Every structure is written in structure tokens, then in C-alpha cells.
């Protein structure tokens, strides 16, 4: 079964610091990759997604992620965070061939940006 | 506006009292799914449905039932809730067919079972 690991459970940063959140998945076949964000009290929003093509994906709000197939990784980055980036971030993976539309999520990383 | 709605948003109940959480989407999506979110565990799939009258278990189906009588609705039923079902529940929907399509999530239902 596919699994997704997010390395950090909690991250605390100051405004303007750079952010990188790690995500590794277990399946070696063709995958679709996602990062979702959940702001306090709100529902999940899609930050960015990778289906194919350029492994460097740009999403909303200045976020980007890089798919490195050889490392089974899809790390999320933002060069300069803002207080409003305080949220929980989830990496998710889909392996359509094996599991249809099912998304497998990582455990989430809570990010706190101090003003 | 394209959306997934869930009701209720918050629910406190007691052990053993049957409850239903409704989910509805207005995008004519074939695929619908329920997830539960628990701290440190991310979201885990409970049940999913590929289309009307087609449902199947996800990773954590024990204690839950679902039905899909209409394309737009996918209710989650807890026949006899227990405290370990206290969680945040999300419904999601997407187009179906050959290939994966982006899933759209509802606002969540926070359930507390005492």
C-alpha cells in the first residue's frame, strides 16, 4: 500500500524566513502529487499539484514544489513566508493505476509564522 | 458557485446515538469520498463511491456506513457512534472516468462523541 511521510510535524518560523517542507512517498510507479493547506478553522485548499511534465511546480501564494522521482520526494518551498502562511500543510499522493481516485495523505505539518 | 457542502458543521453527541452527516455537491461529479482527519495521522479515507449505487471501503471503514442513491449526495452514517470516532470529517468529490481528477473538499464536520 502506498504511504506518505512528512518529516516535520511542527515548524516555527519568523516572517521573511524561507520554508521547506519535506514529503516522501512509498510507491514507485506513476503518481499524481499534491500539496494542500488548511488555514485555522477552514477547509482544505489545493496549493499545487503535479501530474506530469516540468518537475518544478508553481502554485498559489508563492509556493512551489519540486518532484524528484529518484528520491520519491515532493518537497514544498516558499522563499519568504508571511504571518498569513500560518496553517497546516498536507502532502497527498494518488496512484491511479493501483488505487483509482484515492488520495493518500501525509500526517501534516503545522507551520507557525511569528510576526 | 461550484461547491461541496456538509451538514452539520459541528456535532456533539453521545455514545450509541445514530447520526448522519450529509454531503452534497453541485458539480455533477461521479466520484465522492469521505475522509477523517486526526492529529498526526493526516486524512484517512473511510468510504468512497464511484457513482450512484457504487460504494466501497477505504482504509478505515469500521463503524461507518454510506449510501449513494443520488449523484449529488453521499451521506455518512454512524449507526452507533463511539468516542474513538471523535474526529474532523471531510467529504470530497471529483469527476470520474479514466484518469485522476482534482478533488474538491467540503468545509468539514467536527464530531465529538462523549
Q: Strand, helix or coil at A87? A: strand
Residues of A in contact with B99 (CB under 8 A): 96
pLDDT of residue B2: 79
Residues of A in contact with B58 (CB under 8 A): 102
> Within 10 Å of residue B85's Cβ, how many Cβ atoms?
21
Core vs surface per residue A43-68: b (16+ CB within 10 A) or e: bbebbbbbbeeeeebebeeebbbbbe
Mean pLDDT of chain A: 92
Mutation for testing the A interface, residue in B103, B104, B110 having most A CBs under 10 Å: B103
Mutation for testing the B interface, residue in A43, A50, A98 having most B CBs under 10 Å: A43
Q: What's the CA gap between B27 and B4, in Å, rounded? A: 8
- Split chain A (115 residues) into runs of 10 and give each run's mean pLDDT: 87 97 89 93 90 94 95 97 96 85 90 95
- Per-residue pLDDT, averaged over B42-63, amounts to 93
User: Which residues, listed in sequence order, are joined to residue B13 by a DSSP beta bridge?
Assistant: B113
> How far separated are the first and last CA of chain A, in Å rounded?
41
Is B58's CB within 8 Å of A94's CB?
A: no
A59 CB within 8 Å of a chain B CB: no
Q: What's the CA gap between A10 and B40, in Å, rounded? A: 10
pLDDT digits (tens, 9 = 90+) for B66-111: 999 999 999 999 999 999 999 999 999 988 766 667 889 999 999 9
Is A101's CB within 8 Å of B40's CB?
A: no
- Per-residue pLDDT, averaged over B29-51, amounts to 93
Amino acid at each position: 500500500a502506498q504511504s506518505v511521510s512528512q518529516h516535520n510535524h511542527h515548524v516555527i518560523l519568523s516572517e521573511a524566513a524561507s520554508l521547506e517542507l519535506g514529503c516522501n512517498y512509498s510507491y514507485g510507479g506513476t503518481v499524481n502529487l499534491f500539496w494542500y493547506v488548511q488555514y485555522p478553522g477552514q477547509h482544505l485548499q489545493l496549493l499545487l499539484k503535479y501530474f506530469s511534465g516540468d518537475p518544478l511546480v508553481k502554485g498559489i501564494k508563492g509556493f512551489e514544489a519540486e518532484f524528484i522521482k529518484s528520491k520519491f520526494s515532493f518537497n514544498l518551498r516558499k522563499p519568504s513566508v508571511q504571518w498569513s502562511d500560518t496553517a497546516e500543510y498536507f502532502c497527498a499522493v494518488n496512484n491511479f493505476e493501483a488505487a483509482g481516485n484515492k488520495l493518500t495523505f501525509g500526517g501534516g505539518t503545522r507551520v507557525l509564522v511569528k510576526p | 458557485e461550484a461547491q461541496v457542502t456538509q451538514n452539520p458543521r459541528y456535532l456533539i453527541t453521545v455514545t450509541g446515538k445514530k447520526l448522519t452527516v450529509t454531503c452534497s455537491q453541485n458539480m455533477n461529479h461521479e466520484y465522492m469520498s469521505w475522509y477523517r482527519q486526526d492529529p498526526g495521522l493526516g486524512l484517512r479515507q473511510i468510504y468512497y463511491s464511484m457513482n450512484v449505487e457504487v460504494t466501497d471501503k477505504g482504509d478505515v471503514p469500521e463503524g461507518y456506513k454510506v449510501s449513494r442513491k443520488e449523484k449529488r449526495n453521499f451521506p455518512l452514517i454512524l449507526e452507533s457512534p463511539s468516542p474513538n470516532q471523535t474526529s474532523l470529517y471531510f467529504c470530497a468529490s471529483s469527476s470520474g472516468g479514466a484518469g485522476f481528477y482534482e478533488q474538491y473538499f467540503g468545509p468539514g464536520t467536527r464530531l465529538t462523541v462523549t
